[in-house]
Amino acid sequence: MAGPAPRGGRVSTGPLRATCPCGSGAAYDACCGRLHRGAARAETPEELMRSRYAAFAVGDAAYLFRTWHPRTRPDDVELDPATVWTGLEVLSAGADDVAFVARYERHGHPGEQREHSRFVRRAGRWVYLDGSGGDHGGDHGGAGG
């Protein structure tokens, strides 16, 4: 995921065999976990976006930083522990962009981040470039691509 000021909360995935937060239905370890560990690279912008959403959900700020274009990323990615990511819906996925809705709960209030994210290939890898959209509900500062 992306966004002007990414914030996200850590949610334990439990055992590595737990279902991946990205919504694929696969085990985390076999899905986004392998990307987070560096054992694989995202093959498409949608796979990268899903893995970034999962990184917000499991609290992997280092992965978010690594997969963000250096020209547009902040100096540091801070995750908000009060945010619990509750679901991801991909609205459309193109050759270099993905539109999605990321749902969350913060301080007991539901919200959602709608975003249209853009991705580019850099040194043979997909990276998040930027996104447009906004936060709807809750008091969350932005999910990020």
Chain Cα centroid distance, residue 52 = 3
Is residue 47 pLDDT above 60, yes or no? yes
Q: What is the mean pLDDT of residues 15-40?
A: 92
* Whether domain 28-136 has CATH 3.20.20.10: no
Chain Cα centroid distance, residue 57 = 8
pLDDT, position 135: 72
In this prediction the pTM is 0.84
Of 3-7, 89-93, 126-130, 131-135, least confident by mean pLDDT is: 3-7
Spell out the residues 6+ positions from residue 35 whose beta carbon is closer than 8 angstroms to its own: 41, 42, 47, 48, 51, 63
Is residue 89 pLDDT above 70, yes or no? yes
Please give the mean pLDDT across all residues of the chain: 87
Of 35-39, 126-130, 131-135, least confident by mean pLDDT is: 131-135
- Integer Cα distance of 33 and 12 in angstroms: 13
Q: Helical H runs in 20-113?
A: 32-36, 45-58, 61-66
Q: Which of 135, 86, 83, 93 is nearest to 118 (CA)?
A: 93
